Amino acid sequence: MLSRALLFLVVLASCGGSHAPTPDSGTGSATGIGPEGGTVTEPYGGQIVVPPGALSTTVAIGIARDLTDAPALAATGIDTAGAGYVLTPHGTAFATPATIQIPFDADRIPSDATPVLYKAEPGGTFAAIDSTVSGTMLTATISDFSWVIPGYAETSPRMVYALVSTTSVREVASFKIDKATGALGMATSTAAVGTGASSVTVHPSRRFAYVVNGNNGVPGGATNVPVNSISVYALDPVTGAIAGPIDTQPANANPISAVVHPSGKFVYVVNEQRFGTTTGNISVYAVDPTTGHLTPKGTSADLGGAPATAIAFAPSGKFAFVTYMPAPTGSTTFFDTVNTFSVDPTTGLLTGAISTALTGDNPWAVAVTPNGKAAYVASLGTQGSVNDLTRYSIDATSGNLTRRDSIYLGGEPASLAVDSEGRFLYAARQQVDNNQNLFVFAIDSASGSLTPSSNLLTSNGSGPIAVVAEPQGHFVYATGNGAIVPYTLDATGGILVPGTPIGPIATGAGVGVGDPFSFAASGTSPVWINGCSFLGDDVFVTGQCPLPTAIGGTGNSNTTSTQVDMIHSQSATHQLDVSTGVWGGTITSTPAGIDYNSDGNPQAFVSASFATGATVQLCGAPPASATQVYDFKWTGSGGCSGTAMCTSVAMTADESCHLELTVRPPS
């Protein structure tokens, strides 16, 4: 298949092999053009311009909308964008190239396409030649004649899908992304939604979108859509236009968001039922890859009555991470936690929980890095020593989450997004403080640790907010009180440059703190190529293209180097976490990286990254203010052990090392 970014005018050469300039039948009238040159124009704007000196004798030049006897267009890889033309006489050769102008239908052109001209070579091979777009015309220079067709390589447009309000009725709308600036224009299409619609999600194939409909809120025009449901919409593969709903399935009480499994085979709806019986926290559906229709598979992830608030997946597809908020009454189990579940590869249902880790107060969003090493949870507030933005490491084998550290953002962070290349984390909070509510953090690829890059204020300030990183990693979109703000990413410094907001955009069913909602951005994903999740585990890879052998898959001779290059390679570093016990102490490392002093913060830990295969020496010492004599005991992984002042750790994976000091009894 030709590159997904290519829009082209295919010039098809005659396969007859004759070099004599004989006119074809059925091509309409022709104009005689001689050595002085000239122009031939047809009624729809198609044109041939022959420069002076290009012909040595007069030739009857013709251009007409006619593909009689033309070779067949490829069955896949190419779509037309207008009528085809015949240029006659076939085989005409020019001493100086002639210029052709062919009209095309601009409405059929995907938003991320780039014009280029392909010309058939002997034997049927096409080669690109320079071409340009002038309004609704494609122009190029050619040295001989044949059939021409305006078209483009099969691709899907880059779009934003969001809920909008027209008078008192809510709809879902599509917006084209400007490939150069990320700007969004007027809505290109709309479709009716049900009452209480709050969130929009796009399938990575860009063929389907999902809208969840709650049990209250703004009415929608789709009167046949019941409350507490998920609706499926069809997306036009060329224009990105949204239509439907084409299918609706019941969900449990108060559905707030839909998330697609990395394999694309399943969709999960989070049922954030704050009141009443909190069963069926996560509704699971299988996706029909042809029609997009959903088949309910059951519900999962009920843990002690705490309502679920968000779900995310490891890139392998093996594990799901679900957050839970406190229930107003009843059970006090599992609230303010993030839990790991196994994913059944046949049904998509979740089993577990495998592990539980503490979050801040009322966790509201969870995100995972593309390399599967780290997860982040945003909570509406702090809970004890856990701040409102928390980092966890992920054990690739077991799926266990280990809490590493947390950052205080303030102002109720309620939405997270991770850059598709794993470079940045975007965190949006609902309250404005110090004139900022959108934060950018650089992500350490080995440990997932966060370094602040920039922060800014969305155009409309406080209120329900959502942030989305579009799949191609160029732009970021955030909402604020009824508008979407496009941002261009300066990846060098992690700076977001705002564009012009568009609106009105609808938010969640309510207007209070924590009322969740989402919108979606589509584009070519680095982990979803031709219908396959390349970062997926073998169990979840779809049949069209299994994983390359290089990353543990079954291998495929059809896997191209371009596809392999888009896979995130294994990191050249690993993370080392160090900590001390109740008596504290200091720890330093050789090579440098760990400089740990627990004074004033006992049992905290710090992390640093070291080259894969390196040996790190750690040396400990009692607290500076200590007057007692201590015994040393090192425990951990990577060889961390012993009772001496120093120990060594082999960095073959992410490792941890703990120093426990105990006061030595008087002799």
Distance CA 478, CA 498 (A): 10
Give the per-residue pLDDT at 482: 75
* Tokens found for residue 343: 């994913």
* Three-class SS state of 531: coil
Q: Is the pLDDT of residue 281 over 90?
A: no
Across the range 162-175, mean pLDDT stands at 85
Q: Is the pLDDT of residue 534 over 80?
A: no
Is 278 buried (19+), middle (13-18) or exposed (0-12) by CB count in 10 A? Answer: buried
Across the range 403-424, mean pLDDT stands at 89
Give the per-residue pLDDT at 29: 67
Give residue-wise pLDDT tens across range 4-63.
333 333 334 333 333 333 333 334 568 999 999 999 999 889 999 999 999 999 999 999
Of the candidates 210, 104, 109, the one whose C-alpha atom is nearest the C-alpha of residue 156 is: 109
* Three-class SS state of 579: strand
Q: Is the pLDDT of residue 593 over 70?
A: yes
Distances in Å between the Cα of 410 and the Cα atoms of 161, 427, 654 are 29, 11, 30
The model's confidence at residue 126, banded by pLDDT at 50, 70 and 90, is: low
Q: How many CB atoms lie within 10 A of CB 588?
A: 17
DSSP secondary structure letter of residue 16: S
Amino acid identity of residue 351, one-letter, is T
Across the range 385-394, mean pLDDT stands at 91
Give residue-wise pLDDT tens across range 324-368.
988 766 556 788 899 999 999 889 999 989 999 999 888 999 999
Same structural domain, 132 and 182: no
Same structural domain, 381 and 437: yes
Same structural domain, 95 and 177: no
CATH code assigned at 127: 2.60.220.30
- Through-space distance between the first and last CA atoms of the chain, rounded to whole angstroms: 80
How large is the greatest C-alpha to C-alpha distance in the chain, in angstroms?
116
The model's confidence at residue 572, banded by pLDDT at 50, 70 and 90, is: low
The lowest-confidence range among 81-85, 317-321, 472-476, 589-593 is: 81-85
How many percent of the chain have pLDDT more than 90? 38
Q: How many residues does the chain have?
A: 667
Give the per-residue pLDDT at 152: 77
Q: Is the pLDDT of residue 209 over 80?
A: yes
- Is this prediction's pTM over 0.85? no
Q: Give the residue from 529, 554, 581 where a domain finishes.
A: 529
Same structural domain, 76 and 169: no
Which residues constitute the domain of residue 588?
573-663
Give the per-residue pLDDT at 596: 82
Q: Give the residue from 529, 559, 582 where a domain finishes.
A: 529
Same structural domain, 58 and 102: yes
How many percent of the chain have pLDDT more than 70? 79
CATH code assigned at 500: 2.130.10.10
Q: How many CB atoms lie within 10 A of CB 601?
A: 12
Distance CA 118, CA 115 (A): 10
Give the per-residue pLDDT at 531: 57
* Domain-located, residue 551: no
Question: Based on C-alpha coordinates, what's the Rg of the chain?
Answer: 30
Q: Is the pLDDT of residue 267 over 80?
A: yes
Q: Give the residue from 529, 558, 586 where a domain finishes.
A: 529
Give the per-residue pLDDT at 135: 84
Same structural domain, 286 and 421: yes
Residues 6 or more apart whose Cβ sits within 8 Å of residue 121: 13, 127
The model's confidence at residue 641, banded by pLDDT at 50, 70 and 90, is: very high
Residues 6 or more apart whose Cβ sits within 8 Å of residue 153: 1, 2, 3, 4, 5, 6, 7, 8, 77, 78, 79, 113
Distance CA 638, CA 571 (A): 18
Distance CA 227, CA 277 (A): 17
Give residue-wise pLDDT tens across range 91-107.
888 999 999 998 888 77
DSSP secondary structure letter of residue 483: -
Mapping DSSP onto H, E and C, the string for 180-195 reads CCCCECCCCEEEECCC
Residues 6 or more apart whose Cβ sits within 8 Å of residue 109: 7, 81, 152, 238
* Tokens found for residue 185: 């224009």
* Domain-located, residue 604: yes
Distance CA 486, CA 438 (A): 13
Average of per-residue pLDDT values in the chain: 80
Same structural domain, 99 and 178: no
Residues 6 or more apart whose Cβ sits within 8 Å of residue 223: none
Q: Is the pLDDT of residue 444 over 80?
A: yes
* Domain-located, residue 554: no
Give the per-residue pLDDT at 451: 94
- Total number of domains in the chain: 3
* Domain-located, residue 365: yes
User: Of the segments 35-44, 212-221, 652-661, which one has the largest average pLDDT value?
Assistant: 35-44
* Domain-located, residue 540: no
Same structural domain, 194 and 145: no
Same structural domain, 140 and 176: no
The model's confidence at residue 511, banded by pLDDT at 50, 70 and 90, is: very low
Give the per-residue pLDDT at 583: 78
Distance CA 314, CA 370 (A): 8
DSSP secondary structure letter of residue 224: T
* Domain-located, residue 459: yes
User: Is the bond preceding residue 52 a cis peptide, omega within 30 degrees?
Assistant: no
* Domain-located, residue 564: no
Same structural domain, 215 and 267: yes
Same structural domain, 149 and 202: no
Same structural domain, 309 and 218: yes
The lowest-confidence range among 86-90, 279-283, 364-368 is: 279-283
Across the range 458-465, mean pLDDT stands at 70
Q: Is the pLDDT of residue 77 over 70?
A: no
